[in-house]
Chains A and B, each alone.
Chain A
Amino acid sequence: MSVVTTVPEDARPQTGPKLTANRLPRWTPPAVAAGAIALGCGIGAAGGLESHLQWGLISALLFLLGGYLISARVEGRRQAKDRLATSVVWVAFILAVVPLVSLTVYTIQQGIGVVDGNFLSHSMKGVIQTGKGGGIYHALLGTLQQVGLATVMAAPIGLLTAVYLVEYGRGGLAKAVTFFVDVMTGIPSIVAGLFVFSLWNLALGFNYSGFSGSLALAILMIPVVVRSTEEMLKLVPNELREASYALGVPKWKTILRIVLPTAIGGITTGVMLAVARITGETAPVLMLVFGADYINSNPFDGPQQSLPMYIWQQYSVVNNDNGYARAWGAALVLIAFVMGLNLIARGIARWRSPKGGH
């Protein structure tokens, strides 16, 4: 839009800024994109650039620049800026999609051939690191036990803390707890591992075990459970509580019989998402569970294995294609498990969300 505010009032009394503007046709952005990609690939091929990543980056830059210049010429600066913003946002979208899709596709590609009945039902006992064969049964078992134990510890503590914050929490203590829940969410998992090691293994003298790992996992899980449960409890309308008090039901029964059941869907979702998060934790497990090649079904005694640690160990022998293959297979199983938990959790959230949630 060109500036016409300088038109003298008396010359054209009833006129303001004009309403029409030169506009680019609707097909311009896709056309510019196509041109930019073609040119980008051309430059890439001509310049002998090996990495397709560079081709893409050059194309993206050409797209942004080209779109801006064309629009600035035809439509004016303001429109051009608007179009530039739109293009940048679209490029950001594509920049995000590329690695994320690549990660998923690559994992499936590499892992799908490895995962079979044998892989799922055997341990690594007697298998040489660089040899073929072996499986993840011991790791799967260890992961399930460790995560299960962590959940048994973390869920009640998290739930009660959330109840305290929402239903009772007032004053300094509640403020401190709220603050530290947030801070605790950000504790690096390796620090949780160090802490449990210094407490459980060094100070109390216990040995490596699956349970020791679950202690660290529980520390990581508690704040996540608290936060999600808190949100859910806040969604329970106050009218329900008041109706219950009016009937003479004491507060604790109201919480147990009315508030928690109302929010149970959301709470379950939160716990499952937390479970999904700790299932993939490697660092604390690495230092606390130690890693075993054989099946150890007792999480309270001796080293165990876990899926993430298994991947780490299989990867860590350099240039070992058999190990890499097993790592990808385990990664696929781990992703499938975590994603499955996520999908189910979100399904539950949709199903049983309390009314009044968004």
Chain B
Amino acid sequence: MTSSPPAAPRGRERRARDSRVGDKIFMNFARGAGILLLVIMAAIAGFLAWRSGLALSKNDGNFFTTFEWTPDAPKPVFGIAVLVFGTIVSALIAMVIAVPVAIGIALFISHYAPRRIAQPFAYLVDLLAAVPSIVYGLWGALFLVPHLDGLTSWLNQYLGWTYLFDQTQSGTPRNLFTVGILLAIMILPIITAVSREVFRQVPRMHEEAALALGATRWEMIRTAVLPFGRPGVISASMLGLGRALGETIAVAVVLSSNSVLSLHILDAGGGTFAQNIALKFAEAGENGRNALMASGLVLFVITLLVNGAARLIIARRKEYSGANA
């Protein structure tokens, strides 16, 4: 397409040229959209970093170890220690509960349930992935919290010696433990949906190979289904983890937050990145907002890493995963 033909193009020639021009324009449009996407990602990182820089330069405390969040004070002090801790702990609780249950449900749908139940149930789980998080939050605060009262005091009574479940202050269980349970319920559908698809893709011939060797159903699942599905399940869990880390409004509704960092997960208090931003943003002054952007940048980087890792695991799936122990 460097030089145009000398004579006026006619007929077939012109059509050929038109189509090449059309192709070029269309392709560049499509490629432009792809590039725009990359630009957006870069812009997110760039803008947040710029604002974070402004905030951090005024911070009198250490951003990573400070508990307080008073960026709008005359001497601004703020740090993400409590937020990192709360975010990770609540997400971990969610994962510990959700992953095994989700694998169970996925197996139930793919291998255990009678077909008449499996299909509608799979459908139902998919629908529940669409329930807005604010509704989960509302349900969590007004239904789940009162119903967890008994369980909380029971855990405190019998498992209090573990430190983890030691409840040092009374009050409604608007704590990290409850948040973890709620997050677990929220990420259950996504982990289930992805795992189920992977389990369904296990070739029938591998399952039959196991059965023909005299495997019980569970042994068949252990030898043929789970090893095959492991990378898929791991990446599904990472997707769930990503959601749990970034969940905002449900946490904001349920958790009664304060800047305390404590492994007593039954005590009310603590905070998460997203929740902290949502609660403080409206009332924050300029430096407060910049500080919140700095914490948002950290959250962005964390979820980026988690999701990127999930992606890489899927990509590596075809590789041989070592001797199956």
- Give A86-114 interface residues, CB cut-off 8 Å to B: 86, 88-93, 95-96, 99-100, 102-103, 106-107, 110
CA distance A92 to B300 in the complex (A): 32
Contact with B along A181-203 (1 / 0, CB 8 A): 11111111111101101110011
Contact with A along B242-278 (1 / 0, CB 8 A): 1101111100010000000000000000000110011
CA distance A338 to B50 in the complex (A): 36
CA distance A343 to B124 in the complex (A): 11
Query: Of the 9-residue stretches B56-64, B68-76, B129-137, B162-170, which lies at the interface with chain A?
Result: B129-137
Contact A91 B48 (CB under 8 A): no
Chain B residues whose C-beta falls within 8 Å of the C-beta of A328 in the assembled complex:
138
Interface assignment of A217: CB less than 8 Å from any CB of chain B: no
CA distance A250 to B14 in the complex (A): 13
Contact B130 A342 (CB under 8 A): yes
- Give A252-268 interface residues, CB cut-off 8 Å to B: 252-253, 255-256
Contact A312 B139 (CB under 8 A): no
Interface assignment of B96: CB less than 8 Å from any CB of chain A: no
A315 touches which one: B242, B243, B253, B273 (CB < 8 A)? B253
Interface assignment of A331: CB less than 8 Å from any CB of chain B: yes
Interface assignment of B44: CB less than 8 Å from any CB of chain A: yes
Chain A residues whose C-beta falls within 8 Å of the C-beta of B144 in the assembled complex:
99
Interface assignment of B293: CB less than 8 Å from any CB of chain A: yes
Contact A281 B135 (CB under 8 A): no
Chain A residues whose C-beta falls within 8 Å of the C-beta of B159 in the assembled complex:
none
- Assuming the contacts A85-B218, A92-B104, A186-B306, asked whether A282 and B248 have C-beta atoms less than 8 A apart, the reply is yes
- Give A157-213 interface residues, CB cut-off 8 Å to B: 157-161, 163-165, 167-169, 173-174, 176-177, 179-192, 194-195, 197-199, 202-203
CA distance A157 to B30 in the complex (A): 8
Give A53's nearest chain B residue, CB to CB.
B151
Contact B135 A89 (CB under 8 A): no
Interface assignment of A115: CB less than 8 Å from any CB of chain B: no
Contact B246 A161 (CB under 8 A): no
Give B238's nearest chain A residue, CB to CB.
A186
Contact with B along A210-232 (1 / 0, CB 8 A): 00000000010011001000000
CA distance A78 to B30 in the complex (A): 57
Chain B residues whose C-beta falls within 8 Å of the C-beta of A54 in the assembled complex:
150-151, 154
Interface assignment of B323: CB less than 8 Å from any CB of chain A: no
B246 touches which one: A188, A256, A280 (CB < 8 A)? A188
A51 touches which one: B19, B124, B148, B216 (CB < 8 A)? B148
B134 touches which one: A156, A174, A183, A282 (CB < 8 A)? A282
Contact with B along A48-78 (1 / 0, CB 8 A): 0111111001000000000000000000001
Contact B33 A160 (CB under 8 A): yes
Interface assignment of A269: CB less than 8 Å from any CB of chain B: no
CA distance A339 to B37 in the complex (A): 29
Nearest chain A CB to B38's CB is how many angstroms away?
6
Contact A165 B34 (CB under 8 A): yes
Contact B246 A186 (CB under 8 A): yes
Contact A100 B124 (CB under 8 A): yes
Give B201's nearest chain A residue, CB to CB.
A358
B132 touches which one: A110, A173, A280 (CB < 8 A)? A280
- Give B289-314 interface residues, CB cut-off 8 Å to A: 289, 292-293, 296, 299-300, 303-304, 306-308, 310-311
Give B29's nearest chain A residue, CB to CB.
A160
Interface assignment of B209: CB less than 8 Å from any CB of chain A: no
- Assuming the contacts A51-B151, A53-B148, asked whether A177 and B37 have C-beta atoms less than 8 A apart, the reply is yes
Contact with A along B154-179 (1 / 0, CB 8 A): 10000000000000000000000000
CA distance A312 to B40 in the complex (A): 29
Give B123's nearest chain A residue, CB to CB.
A346
Contact A106 B143 (CB under 8 A): yes
Give A1's nearest chain B residue, CB to CB.
B214
Interface assignment of A276: CB less than 8 Å from any CB of chain B: yes
Nearest chain A CB to B1's CB is how many angstroms away?
14
Contact B311 A161 (CB under 8 A): no
Nearest chain A CB to B266's CB is how many angstroms away?
14
CA distance A76 to B308 in the complex (A): 45
Contact A168 B138 (CB under 8 A): no
Contact A335 B300 (CB under 8 A): no
Nearest chain A CB to B171's CB is how many angstroms away?
14
Contact A92 B100 (CB under 8 A): yes
B216 touches which one: A81, A100, A255, A273 (CB < 8 A)? A81
Interface assignment of A311: CB less than 8 Å from any CB of chain B: yes
Interface assignment of A137: CB less than 8 Å from any CB of chain B: no
Nearest chain A CB to B217's CB is how many angstroms away?
6
CA distance A255 to B47 in the complex (A): 36
Contact B36 A85 (CB under 8 A): no
Interface assignment of A251: CB less than 8 Å from any CB of chain B: yes
Interface assignment of B285: CB less than 8 Å from any CB of chain A: no
Give B247's nearest chain A residue, CB to CB.
A188
Chain B residues whose C-beta falls within 8 Å of the C-beta of A159 in the assembled complex:
33
Contact A252 B31 (CB under 8 A): no
Interface assignment of B208: CB less than 8 Å from any CB of chain A: no
Give me 13 other A-B pairs in contact (C-beta within 8 A), A222-B40, A251-B23, A280-B131 excluded.
Answer: A54-B154, A90-B112, A100-B125, A102-B139, A177-B35, A190-B274, A190-B277, A250-B18, A255-B26, A280-B135, A282-B133, A283-B278, A308-B134
Sample of 12 A–B contacts (CB below 8 Å): A54-B150, A81-B218, A93-B104, A103-B131, A160-B33, A161-B30, A161-B36, A190-B277, A194-B296, A198-B51, A324-B142, A342-B127
Q: Which residues of B approach A to under 8 Å, CB–CB?
A: 18-20, 22-23, 25-27, 29-38, 40-41, 43-44, 47-48, 50-51, 100-105, 107-108, 112-113, 121, 123-128, 130-139, 141-144, 147-151, 154, 185, 188, 192, 216-219, 221, 239, 242-243, 245-249, 253, 273-274, 277-278, 281-282, 289, 292-293, 296, 299-300, 303-304, 306-308, 310-311
Counting from the closest, the 5 A-B pairs by CB-CB distance are A280-B132, A188-B246, A92-B104, A51-B150, A250-B19
